Amino acid sequence: MLRLHRKWKWLFFAALFAGGLVYLSRSGAAAPNPTWYQALAQRVVSPAARILSGVAARWRGFSDGYLGWRGDRQRRVDLEAELAALRLETLRLREENRALQAESVLFAEHGLPKGEGRPARVLGYDPVPAFRSITIDRGSEHGVEPDQVVVAGGGVVGRVMRSGRRSSQVLLVTDLNSAVDVVDVRTRARGLLVGKRKEMGLKRERWMTQAEYVSASEEIVPGDLLLTSGLDGVFPKGLPVGVVGAVKKDSSGLFWQAEVDPYVELNKLEEVLVLTPREGGEG
């Protein structure tokens, strides 16, 4: 405690002495004829004052530079955030523009006015491999009902199986529960197009369609285009469904069985068109 008291005592006297020197130096600088002790005080204080002035100037420069750097950094952060927001807005507008273009293409592909279909975006595919369906972002609120026909890419995708309030499930033509009455565009041979799962080996599979109940007296060959006949009461007449691949007779020998590749690439769907029902129940 005594040592601490002595320390503060010496600090007090040192500060008092320094203050006296500063006072004498300043009074001598203001006087026209300074006394010898004022001149001595000036000689002692002036170098220290110059050093302190230089330190103060450098500190001000550092402080100004630091504050300027902080300000520049904040402006850079703000600009980067603004740039990121502009990029997101650009992507959003680009996606909207792409969707509008896709919508126009959908109507053009099927030669339909915009009042005869409702564009829809594909939200996802059925996670269960045994079922071939997609979910779209249109439901009963948008006038979508079960059994409405869904098209894309100039051909048939499938039909609405379930309609929710704001989304619907679409059964693809490749599903095992799908059935479409079709006709060969070249020979007018009729048949029933159903979904088919083909094992490819190495635990791989390929989903396609198969034309059944085509009379053996009719002609159907690989490369023929199959269209909807309109006789099933669901799909309107004349929509492309698939292209015939391999053809063989069934076990009875009375009918042809033909593997058919879907007309639309069903694994790449992004936008589809839900056809508006026509009078008479078609489409």
pLDDT digits (tens, 9 = 90+) for 123-167: 999 888 778 999 999 999 988 999 999 998 888 999 999 999 999
Phi, psi dihedral angles at 89 (to 5 degrees): -65, -40
Instruction: Give CA separation, 72 vs 75, 78, 79, 170, in Å.
Output: 5, 10, 10, 55
Instruction: Give CA separation, 159 vs 147, 205, 260, in Å.
Output: 5, 23, 18
Neighbours of 272 (CB within 10 A): 24
Determine contact, residues 123/135, Cβ cutoff 8 Å: yes
Determine the pLDDT at residue 36: 47
Determine the pLDDT at residue 165: 92
Has residue 239 been placed in a domain? yes
Check whether residue 98 and residue 1 sit in a common domain: yes
How many Cα atoms occupy the beta-carbon half-sphere of 30 within 13 Å? 5
Has residue 213 been placed in a domain? yes
SS (H, E, C) 104-145: HHHHHHHCCCHHHEEEEEEEEECCCCCCCEEEECCCHHHCCC
pLDDT in tens, 155-202: 899 999 999 999 999 999 999 999 999 999 999 999 999 999 887 766
Parent domain of 174: 116-275
245/248 Cα distance (integer angstroms): 10
Check whether residue 136 and residue 254 sit in a common domain: yes
CATH of the domain at 261: 2.40.10.340
Choose one of 60, 85, 111: the last residue of a domain: 111
Six-digit token pair at 49? 């004052």
169/179 Cα distance (integer angstroms): 16
> What is the pTM assigned to this prediction?
0.63
Has residue 202 been placed in a domain? yes
Nearest to 274 by CA among 131, 163, 194, 126: 163
186/57 Cα distance (integer angstroms): 95
* β-bridge mates for residue 248, sequence order: 257
Instruction: Give CA separation, 206 vs 97, 174, 197, in Å.
Output: 34, 10, 6
142/86 Cα distance (integer angstroms): 32
Check whether residue 218 and residue 82 sit in a common domain: no
110/276 Cα distance (integer angstroms): 13
Taking the CA atoms of 137, 138, 140 and 145 in sequence, report the sign of the dihedral they define.
negative
Determine contact, residues 193/210, Cβ cutoff 8 Å: yes
Q: What is the tally of structural domains in the chain? A: 2
Check whether residue 269 and residue 157 sit in a common domain: yes
Nearest to 136 by CA among 128, 153, 124, 145: 124
Query: pLDDT (tens digit, 0 to 9) for every residue of the chain, 283 residues total?
Result: 545 555 555 555 455 445 554 544 555 444 455 554 455 555 555 565 566 666 666 777 766 776 777 777 778 887 888 888 878 777 777 766 666 565 566 666 666 656 678 889 999 998 887 789 999 999 999 889 999 999 988 889 999 999 999 999 999 999 999 999 999 999 999 999 999 988 776 667 788 899 999 999 999 999 999 999 999 989 989 999 999 999 999 888 899 999 999 999 998 898 899 988 764 444 4
Has residue 281 been placed in a domain? no
Choose one of 66, 96, 111: the last residue of a domain: 111
Has residue 159 been placed in a domain? yes
Determine contact, residues 121/142, Cβ cutoff 8 Å: no
Check whether residue 107 and residue 124 sit in a common domain: no
Check whether residue 43 and residue 138 sit in a common domain: no
Check whether residue 101 and residue 134 sit in a common domain: no
Task: Specify the amino acid at residue 70.
Answer: R
